[in-house]
A and B are shown apart, each in its own frame.
Chain A
Amino acid sequence: MNRMLAIIEREMRKFFRSPTLMITAMIFPLVQLIILGNAFGGKIRDARVAIVDEDHGNQAVRIREAFSSVESNVRTFVAVDYSDEVRAREDVRQGRLEGALIIPPQFSRRFYEGENPRLGMVVDNSDQFMANSLQTKMQELVNSLNSPAATAKRIPSDVALEIVELYPYIEYLKYLLPGSISLAMFVSVMIGGGMLYIDDKARGVHEGYLVTPITSMEMVLGLNLAGALKAIMAGCALTILGSLIAGLGSSFQPAHVLQWFLLICATSFAFNGLMFLLMVRVEDPLVPRAMFGILNTLLYFPSGAIYPVQAFPKWLRVISYVDPFSYAVHGLKATLLKEASWVAVSQDLLYLTVFGLVSLVISVPLFKRTL
């Protein structure tokens, strides 16, 4: 028991002596939170769309007006005048334009004579997101042209949209936060539990421990608890910072603090158990470094942290089903975003704790008491 505490003491003293680990564990998830949170979930703006007017009638003028209303309000696109359809197509293909709207000859005449008037739209469908956004916006525009009464309403509703966009990406940023917190714990465990452990082994620090009368159990428990403690600190720090960035005031209510704190403890314990199990027989310091990227992809992305699990194919759902990351993300989402009850997070807490315990039980006999 005292020997186990000595191991923990050493790890903690090291941890607090140099803030490198803490900072490293925090920076990656924070950068991801801020960059991904702002990069995704936003709306398309200022896409360059050519207008090729081959009609020159008054319906073409209406379309241009509607276009400039979009241009000055939601700013999905900016209109660029083209006279030649072939050139417009070519420029979309070359990436100089995001799309082109073709108003064919005789469009106004067909419109008045009810002869099935048609507009042409050229999009670059190699970029799905862009093509979809343009199509949607254009469809809206055509719909509003078809119902003259609605046109008047567009302007106020566009203004309202502008106000909402003062905080344009906050929702996705909130959505990402639980994943970022889990990621901070994972990075801490990966570096503080995995890499440092193997480095210590390779450097001979463990050789020093192994000549003392410490038991395997004391050593495994000591190293695991120390690793979990570091991850808990990283997790708490990111929860607080992230809640401030995302404007989640409810995170600071005492009842919620207890809930997310327990989730963070269970997650840290599970992550560290997993890491220790993977590293228990590893000798080469390159291995944890090589595994970092793979594990990150294998565990973080299927967890539902950045995209809903419900959108995954079956085989990917299997990974997310056993992945402790999923439970951490699910639990933290319930607590931080939905202010859910204890019942909602109890399964996550249970899974994470059992996962940690099982990993520990397997690691102890695998741990070698000799060099």
Chain B
Amino acid sequence: MSIRTRKGLHSGHQGQAISVENIVKKYGDFEAVKGVTFDVKDGEIFGLLGPNGAGKSTLIRMMTTLIPITSGKAFIDGYDVSENPDAARRVIGVIPQAMTSDIDLTITENMSIYAKLYGVPRAERERNIDELLEAVDLTKWRDAQVKTLSGGMRRRAEIARGLVHNPRIFFLDEPTTGLDPVSRVAVWEMLNKLKSHRQLTILITTHYMDEADRLCDRIAIVDHGQLVALDTPMALKTSVPGNNVVEVQFLKAPSGWAERLHDLSGVQSVQDEGSSMFRLLTSTGSQTTTALVELSVRAGVEIKTLTVQNTSLDDVFVHYTGRQLRDEQVKAFGFVMPPRPGMRS
């Protein structure tokens, strides 16, 4: 790897791969990103978690020089992306949300063309392509046209392509959206492996809670263009009151039932989910459950289903936004192409 001269380096950003300061994006009167600030440390996997339309893609596009920043600043490896976009472009690899590989070309051809766009010398180019294909387990398919590959293989091919010029910082916009669970896990493993072998800093966006939880060192929860929480998955989970979630559905809950559930031992909050379904956050799952069953027997209210879980990032999301991420996903069913300037869907 070449030695990077870091002229025009912003002071106070050493050790920060990415630094975003009060960044804003407006489309006309609509504010898609409303003043977001965060740092990503060298070598970290950083997750931007939020429902569709939260502003994740818009954030990534500003950081990767794809759209102009309305106000605020973004630094990549110390370079101001507005003032020195080319320097920033050289240190980053980007996998946009939409498939950008050419489906008529083979995996190797796609990679080779990108290597040329980044000016990677021939010898290094060939070595890199071989290594990366091995790393994403696609050596066997190197000469297959991208259109003949499955969704999971395409994503892995894209990941290999995004790394063909040895970037230090890797941006992935929803790399697992639309993939089946097995392919998703394969992508996570691949990213973990690549990160440790190549000293990568990774910024990834997702609307899957389990993915953010399993993969990321730190998570920023984004909602309506704002950052609502930022910490490690563990810290985020413990920041939510209660350690357990009791989900219970009754055959028919009488009126005022939620208040009575709230009085049970250990219960910190009760959410009425409709159709006699309730979500209880509690500090002691077992005690609450016992009390709940006793109460139901006494009141003659029949329990249909009952589950007890540890708090997950789902609960974190509910806690910080007052909404369930799952509902948001149902609304935004399927794969949604990110809107482009000038094109309204």
Measuring CB to CB, which residues of chain A are less than 8 angstroms from any residue of chain B? 2-3, 5-7, 9-10, 13-14, 17-18, 202-205, 207-214, 283-284, 370-371
Contacts and interface: CB of A to CB of B under 8 A. Distances in A.
Interface in B313-345: 337, 340-343
B66 interface: yes
A69 B301 CA distance: 109
B343 A204 contact: no
A212 B118 CA distance: 6
B275 interface: no
Interface of B: 61, 64-68, 86, 89-90, 92, 94, 96-102, 104-105, 109, 113-114, 116-119, 145, 337, 340-343
B175 to A, nearest CB: 14
Contacts of A5: 116
B98 A207 contact: yes
Contact of B100 (A3, A17, A207, A283): A207
Chain B interface SS verdict (over half): loop
B67 A209 contact: no
A190 B333 CA distance: 36
A13 B106 CA distance: 10
Given A5-B116, A204-B96, A10 B67 contact: no
A202 B340 contact: yes
A14 B97 CA distance: 23
Contact of B94 (A7, A211, A213, A284): A211
A18 B104 CA distance: 8
A370 B98 contact: no
A370 B66 contact: yes
A208 B61 contact: no
A203 B99 contact: yes
B118 A213 contact: yes
Contact of A14 (B61, B64, B104, B116): B104
Nearest to B66: A371
Contacts of A14: 102, 104-105
A213 B92 contact: no
Contact of A13 (B66, B86, B109, B116): B109
B90 A211 contact: no
A371 B104 contact: no
A6 B343 CA distance: 28
Nearest to A14: B104
A212 B117 contact: yes
Nearest to B64: A211
A196 to B, nearest CB: 11
A211 B341 contact: no
A7 B118 CA distance: 12
A13 to B, nearest CB: 6
A353 to B, nearest CB: 29
B104 A213 contact: no
A13 B104 CA distance: 9
A152 B101 CA distance: 78
Contacts of B61: 371
Contacts, number: 84
A345 B78 CA distance: 58
Contacts of A9: 113, 116
A205 B100 contact: yes
Contact of B96 (A6, A10, A18, A208): A208
Most chain A CB inside 10 Å of its own CB: which residue of B66, B97, B117, B337: B117
Nearest to B114: A212
B147 to A, nearest CB: 10
A90 to B, nearest CB: 61
B117 A209 contact: yes
A209 B97 CA distance: 14
B116 A213 contact: no
A214 B97 CA distance: 20
A370 B90 contact: no
Contact of B102 (A10, A214, A283): A10
B340 A283 contact: yes
A7 B337 CA distance: 24
Contacts of B118: 212-213
Given A204-B98, A211-B96, 11 more contacts: A9-B113, A13-B104, A14-B104, A202-B340, A208-B100, A211-B64, A211-B89, A212-B118, A213-B117, A213-B119, A371-B66
A283 B119 contact: no
A213 B89 contact: yes
Contacts of B104: 13-14, 17-18
B90 A208 contact: no
B343 A3 contact: no
11 contacts: A2-B119, A10-B113, A13-B105, A13-B109, A17-B145, A204-B97, A211-B66, A211-B92, A212-B89, A213-B86, A213-B118
Contacts of A203: 98-100
A202 B343 contact: yes
Nearest to B93: A211
Contact of B99 (A204, A212, A213): A204
A6 B116 CA distance: 6
Contacts of B68: 370
Nearest to A206: B100
Nearest to B337: A204
Contact of A3 (B97, B105, B117): B117
A17 B110 CA distance: 14
A213 B114 contact: no
A368 to B, nearest CB: 8
Given A283-B340, A370-B68, A207 B96 contact: yes
B197 to A, nearest CB: 22
Tell me which of A7, A209, A370 has the highest count of chain B C-beta atoms within 10 A of its own C-beta. Answer: A370
Given A2-B116, A3-B116, A207 B343 contact: no
B121 to A, nearest CB: 10
Contacts of A18: 104
A10 B105 contact: yes
A136 to B, nearest CB: 57
B125 to A, nearest CB: 11
B97 to A, nearest CB: 8
A265 to B, nearest CB: 25
